A and B are shown apart, each in its own frame.
Chain A
Amino acid sequence: RKEVEQDPGPFNVPEGATVAFNCTYSNSASQSFFWYRQDCRKEPKLLMSVYSSGNEDGRFTAQLNRASQYISLLIRDSKLSDSATYLCVVAGGFKTIFGAGTRLFVKA
């Protein structure tokens, strides 16, 4: 089993749609969780950290379920510019593991 697993997609959605990404991790001792965004042929960029209480940043909502070892990212009112690969990242014990990413295509 991979340490961090994501649905590779791609997710093809129309503009304005709501889309949810899921991620599971295997190490119960993991302490920090992030969502990164990676555009084609570019470096990953931090989108948001994920907190146990859940957190929201504009159209983006991240949630963490430690009991199920599950992280989610919800994008509301998706824009064309949201098209990218979304990476789930899990850290702990001086080790950070990147998921393979979920590709999102938002179409007009």
Chain B
Amino acid sequence: GAVVSQHPSWVICKSGTSVKIECRSLDFQATTMFWYRQFPKQSLMLMATSNEGSKATYEQGVEKDKFLINHASLTLSTLTVTSAHPEDSSFYICSASPGFDQETQYFGPGTRLLVL
């Protein structure tokens, strides 16, 4: 089956630092990758959609300058949380799709971020 990895699985950082999260599709080419955020007891919220080689499309209310997304290859996308603050503490999950839609997507294991 399709496997998606994320690194790191968890990170604790000080307020003001930047954190980079990697998402890799290990056995297929991901035309599209999606980045989600999930707060405790809440649903997954789509943050942005990225296609290889083009700028990411951000959902309403998500600051593109704060959450930098790079999709440099068909197997790798990165999310950088810049100048992280405690309210950015959350569970960040990526998913990858061989196509352009979200209907067929394979989730990574998630990255738990805690900003002190």
Contact = CB atoms under 8 A, between A and B. Distances in A.
Interface of A: 4, 8, 32, 41-45, 87, 91, 94-96, 98-101
21 contacts: A8-B41, A32-B103, A41-B91, A41-B110, A42-B109, A44-B44, A44-B93, A87-B43, A87-B44, A91-B101, A94-B100, A94-B101, A95-B102, A96-B46, A96-B102, A96-B103, A98-B45, A99-B43, A100-B41, A100-B42, A100-B43
A96 B108 CA distance: 17
A98 B110 CA distance: 16
A93 B69 CA distance: 23
Contacts of B100: 94
Interchain residue pairs A-B with the least CB separation, the first 8: A96-B102, A43-B107, A100-B43, A98-B44, A98-B43, A43-B110, A91-B103, A43-B109
B5 to A, nearest CB: 11
Interface in B77-103: 91, 93, 100-103
B64 interface: no
Pick from A42, A43, A95 the residue with the most CB of B within 10 Å: A43
Nearest to A100: B43
Contacts of B105: 96
B107 A45 contact: yes
B7 interface: no
A98 B91 CA distance: 15
A41 B42 CA distance: 12
A67 B7 CA distance: 43
Contacts of A94: 100-102
Nearest to B108: A43
B86 to A, nearest CB: 19
B102 A91 contact: yes
A19 to B, nearest CB: 19
Contacts of A44: 44, 93, 107
A41 B114 CA distance: 13
